[in-house]
Structure 1
Amino acid sequence: MEVLTLKNIEKDTLLIVEMLKEEKYQEINDMLTGKRPYDLASLFQSIPDKHRAAMLEHLDEAVIASMITRFNHMNQLELLGKVGPVRANKILSLLDTDVLSSLLRHFPKTDLDRFLSEMNEEKARYLQEMISYPPNTAGSMMTDRYLSVHLHDTVAEAVEKAKVHAVYSETLFLIYVLDETGKLAGTVSYRDLVIAEGNEIIENIMFRQVLSVSPNTKKTEIHRLLQKYDFSAIPVADAENRLLGVIAFDDMMQLVIQETNEDIGKLAAVDKEIDFDTKPAIAAKRRLPWLIILLFIGLVSGNIISAFEETLEQAVALAFFMPLIAGMTGNTGTQSLAVVVRGLSEQDIDGKTIIKLILRECKVSLLIGLVCGGMIFLIAFIWQGNMYLGIVVGSSLFLTLILGTLAGTIVPLILDKFNFDPAVASGPLITTVNDIFSLSCTFPSRLSS
């Protein structure tokens, strides 16, 4: 299969535009059929706007369904609105249940009810169940496209079932074993089926220790499980251990990527839904709340400086070191914040671990403070020839590095304790708070005294 490079995209885009002008719509469909969803989305977005309507009008529903999986919800709804309700329903019916349920959450209730009423009753009921679970939980991510066999099936019967449903399933590598009541009893790999005797009973070759999650399990917990275990898929079962669905491998990888992107965005106080395609007004609206909060917190720093205006007039050299102290404090706080947020995402932290972590960070901050404080003392003394200035600057940096490190450690722990996402203790927030610490410590006494 051809790898779609930037050069190939430009080449294919020009070719598609020429075909559109010549109304060679079937040739366009033949060209696009079989391409990867990401490549299809890239090609469609590279087509000039004035040609997109004609392209959508004549594209096969299967091509559009494949392409739409790579768009965000806003673009998905916009595209479905352009193709009309009849074709939109055909496209939606071709989507996997996990993709479809995520999209249907953004539908108006009347449109959702109309779409579900036109579907197969069993599939509609399954989708309604998925939508009923909170977003970003296992129940909202699972799919019903998995293979299952019964305890008392023979290997030959299981192999035949796998052959029949192979195209349908997303998890051919692992087959789930159910008892007579539909409860999850174990798993068997396709490799084990191939090497076993045809008349062997599945119960005799299956793996019994199966780890499953409840439909209300949050994605952060699923992320932790992925770090601990080598899963190719995660089964989702109810309180009575009845198999409800499976989170497939590609969805788990997407979860890891999404979690990472969200944490990076939160650490920078940037909304997770902002990307390259987000309109300027929307991006500004989503980023402003945090910045406005930080703006008012930052005013505290200005009040501290104004309170020591007289001190600065007598020791102008002190102003040279204020940005350095503030910057160093913010840096060490952000470092500690990253360590804690990463630790919280990887494991459950108890009281003993918290105390151990805080004590460790205290020792780290003392060492960092002594080294950096000593260095800045020597620099200030040699540069300005003022011993007292060196002591003030060095001791200020020493104290603020300790405070900054502890702030970066304790703030996310407190947020986690109160069930807030610790990643919202973002770098900008920690930096702003640490600015206040640094300025407070930079003026330990008035030089005029």
Structure 2
Amino acid sequence: MKIEETEYNEHEAALRTLIQKGDPVDFQDLFLSLHPGEQADHFIELNQHERSFVYRTISPEVFTDLFEKLTLEEQCTFIQETPQSYAVRILNEMYSDNAADLMRELPDAFMDTLFEQMDDIEEQEVKDLMQYPEETAGSLMTTEFVVLQADKTVGLTLEELRELGPDAETIYYLYVVDQAHQLVGVVSLRDLIVAPLEAKIEDIMGFRVISANVMTDQEDLARIVQKYDLLALPVIDDQQKLLGIITVDDILDVIERETTEDFEELSATKGSSDINMSPLEAAKKRAPWIVSLMFLGMITASTIGGFEDTLETIVLLAVFMPLVMGSAGNAATQSLVVAVRSIALGTINRKNVMKMIRRELGTGIILGIACMIVIFGVITLLYDNMLIGFIVGVSIFAALSVATMIGTVVPLLINRLKLDPAVASGPFITTLMDNLGLIIYFTVATSMLQFF
């Protein structure tokens, strides 16, 4: 067992023992000696009775650090079981962007009750953020940040920073605004510390500031942060006024959500990947896709029925149907993943889209030729039938070539329609290629009947 795991288990056992003893002093000492992330790990393992002890022992102000390490689903569950006054104090302490995310998920009646008891300033900040559409810069930004005035000295600014810094989400980047609160520059904390105290902020600030509009989509925000290696990104409106900032930890959450969403779409399991979800809920989420694919499967059955005469003439063809169908579906899924991931990363544009299509087509042709040669040799050797080997080989060559094209072009077309390209899920593409693969297979076989 790893040292970290052993230490974790020891802490968990000690915390539970102290809860059972009802010892708030020693519990608090041990609990607060842990990192908030570790506190969160231990907290979610407790039952409701044990969590009630934590609420009585740990102040809301301290508990907030732990609370913000929990997932949004966990926050929704736990805040509804806390005493209402405790929940309100947590929300007052939370960063406004995190509080807004939580409020969106709570039942309306409970949310309204909490708003009524929150501090007026905190309430207004959270409500302002909730007005922005989800998955935009406005919904992600925090309003807890420090702004600098260009005409102030470094010495005076440092004094103000000592007072304001503790309440800001980050001070690694400090943004400079003019009298109209328009973003005009940026100063790093390092530059501020090493600058002469009598120097003006305008003398040490950078004038080229990477920023994002308040309505920018969260995927585009992630690309900006990644491209420029930013720790924070200022958010402005159409008049260049500074409204808030988005920190890199929020961007990491965005990347995780977007990646999870893409995987769910690709596997047709959207909304059902949470292991805490009940089997019934998961089944409800997946049922539409399963039922749809079942009906598409009936088309496959109809396709086979349409070539019944060919199958009766050459019964051996039935043996290799799964081979052709599976190969085409696998190739299409590979190209689909490449296309969807390229779109998500923003590496596909008008200039190189044809290059990507040609690349995938070329890949399909090369794979098709290789598989055709191999399967021709294997079938000829095992079944002593060169004609069957030729039919299956040519079918696989054609199916793989078509499959890579479809797997690439379909998500590109969907993206062109301003839809999420991941909806062209793997199961959908696989089922589609089952049908096309069979059509190719039996068309080639039917055209060769005269040679039997």
Shorter-chain-normalised TM-score: which range?
over 0.9
Matches of 2:425 and 2:345, distance apart in 1: 18
Residue 205 in 1 paired to residue 199 in 2? no
Q: Aligned residue for 1:330?
A: 329
**Relative to structure 1, is the Cα distance of residues 73 and 174 closer, same or farther in structure 2, using a 3 angstrom cutoff?**
closer
User: What amino acid does structure 1 have at the position aligned with 2:135?
Assistant: N
Q: Aligned residue for 1:306?
A: 305
Q: State the secondary structure of the residue aligned to 2:167.
A: coil
**Cα offset, 1:310, TM superposition:** 4.0
Which moves more between the two structures, 205-214 or 308-317? 308-317
**Cα offset, 1:433, TM superposition:** 1.0
Matches of 2:380 and 2:166, distance apart in 1: 75
| TM-score (norm. length: structure 2) | 0.92
Q: State the secondary structure of the residue aligned to 1:235.
A: strand
Residue 187 in 1 paired to residue 163 in 2? no
Q: For 1:198-347, what aligned pairs fall within 5 Å after superposition?
A: 198-272=197-271, 274-347=273-346
- Report sequence identity in percent: 31
Which moves more between the two structures, 280-289 or 421-430? 280-289
User: What amino acid does structure 1 have at the position aligned with 2:42?
Assistant: L
Q: Aligned residue for 2:142?
A: 143
Q: State the secondary structure of the residue aligned to 2:356.
A: helix
Asked whether the equivalents of residues 272 and 281 of structure 2 are also in contact (C-alpha less than 8 Å), the reply is: no
Asked whether the equivalents of residues 331 and 403 of structure 2 are also in contact (C-alpha less than 8 Å), the reply is: yes
Q: State the secondary structure of the residue aligned to 1:166.
A: helix
Q: For 1:48-447, what aligned pairs fall within 5 Å after superposition?
A: 48=47, 51-272=50-271, 274-347=273-346, 349-444=348-443, 445-446=445-446
Matches of 2:282 and 2:87, distance apart in 1: 28
**Relative to structure 1, is the Cα distance of residues 5 and 306 closer, same or farther in structure 2, using a 3 angstrom cutoff?**
farther
User: What amino acid does structure 2 have at the position aligned with 1:101?
Assistant: A
User: What amino acid does structure 1 have at the position aligned with 2:355?
Assistant: K
**Cα offset, 1:383, TM superposition:** 1.6
User: What amino acid does structure 1 have at the position aligned with 2:205?
Assistant: M
Matches of 2:278 and 2:6, distance apart in 1: 26
Matches of 2:221 and 2:290, distance apart in 1: 32
**Cα offset, 1:101, TM superposition:** 0.5
User: What amino acid does structure 2 have at the position aligned with 1:439?
Assistant: L
User: What amino acid does structure 2 have at the position aligned with 1:37?
Assistant: P
Asked whether the equivalents of residues 142 and 245 of structure 2 are also in contact (C-alpha less than 8 Å), the reply is: yes
Which moves more between the two structures, 344-353 or 39-48? 344-353
**Relative to structure 1, is the Cα distance of residues 29 and 271 closer, same or farther in structure 2, using a 3 angstrom cutoff?**
farther
Deviation by residue 1:297-319 (Cα, 9 ceiling, x = unmatched): 12211222233344334434323
Matches of 1:62 and 1:318, distance apart in 2: 71
Q: State the secondary structure of the residue aligned to 1:105.
A: helix
Matches of 2:222 and 2:240, distance apart in 1: 21
**Cα offset, 1:416, TM superposition:** 0.3
**Cα offset, 1:46, TM superposition:** 2.2
Deviation by residue 1:207-234 (Cα, 9 ceiling, x = unmatched): 0011211111111111221332111110
Which moves more between the two structures, 392-401 or 84-93? 84-93
Matches of 2:282 and 2:53, distance apart in 1: 30
Unaligned runs of 5+ in 2: none
Matches of 1:195 and 1:68, distance apart in 2: 36
Asked whether the equivalents of residues 138 and 217 of structure 1 are also in contact (C-alpha less than 8 Å), the reply is: yes
Deviation by residue 1:147-197 (Cα, 9 ceiling, x = unmatched): 211010111112222222222222221111111111111101111112211
| TM-score (norm. length: structure 1) | 0.93
Which moves more between the two structures, 351-360 or 248-257? 351-360
Asked whether the equivalents of residues 379 and 388 of structure 2 are also in contact (C-alpha less than 8 Å), the reply is: yes
User: What amino acid does structure 1 have at the position aligned with 2:323?
Assistant: L
**Relative to structure 1, is the Cα distance of residues 183 and 110 closer, same or farther in structure 2, using a 3 angstrom cutoff?**
same
Matches of 1:313 and 1:193, distance apart in 2: 83
Q: State the secondary structure of the residue aligned to 1:296.
A: helix
Which moves more between the two structures, 310-319 or 290-299? 310-319
Unaligned runs of 5+ in 1: none
Deviation by residue 1:64-116 (Cα, 9 ceiling, x = unmatched): 42333233333322212211322211122121111101001123334333433
Asked whether the equivalents of residues 375 and 393 of structure 2 are also in contact (C-alpha less than 8 Å), the reply is: yes
**Cα offset, 1:348, TM superposition:** 6.7
User: What amino acid does structure 2 have at the position aligned with 1:396?
Assistant: S
Q: Aligned residue for 1:16?
A: 15
**Relative to structure 1, is the Cα distance of residues 116 and 48 closer, same or farther in structure 2, using a 3 angstrom cutoff?**
closer
User: What amino acid does structure 1 have at the position aligned with 2:289?
Assistant: W
Deviation by residue 1:363-413 (Cα, 9 ceiling, x = unmatched): 222222122122212221222111210111011101110111011101101
Matches of 1:21 and 1:175, distance apart in 2: 47
Q: State the secondary structure of the residue aligned to 1:175.
A: strand
User: What amino acid does structure 2 have at the position aligned with 1:380?
Assistant: I
Matches of 2:82 and 2:67, distance apart in 1: 12
**Relative to structure 1, is the Cα distance of residues 74 and 347 closer, same or farther in structure 2, using a 3 angstrom cutoff?**
closer
Asked whether the equivalents of residues 89 and 118 of structure 2 are also in contact (C-alpha less than 8 Å), the reply is: no
**Relative to structure 1, is the Cα distance of residues 171 and 256 closer, same or farther in structure 2, using a 3 angstrom cutoff?**
same
**Cα offset, 1:360, TM superposition:** 2.7
Which moves more between the two structures, 248-257 or 107-116? 107-116
Which moves more between the two structures, 313-322 or 386-395? 313-322
Asked whether the equivalents of residues 4 and 39 of structure 1 are also in contact (C-alpha less than 8 Å), the reply is: no
Asked whether the equivalents of residues 271 and 285 of structure 2 are also in contact (C-alpha less than 8 Å), the reply is: no
Which moves more between the two structures, 154-163 or 410-419? 154-163
Asked whether the equivalents of residues 261 and 272 of structure 1 are also in contact (C-alpha less than 8 Å), the reply is: no
Q: State the secondary structure of the residue aligned to 2:80.
A: helix
Which moves more between the two structures, 370-379 or 133-142? 370-379
**Cα offset, 1:272, TM superposition:** 4.5
Measured on the aligned residues, the alpha-carbon RMSD in Å equals: 2.2
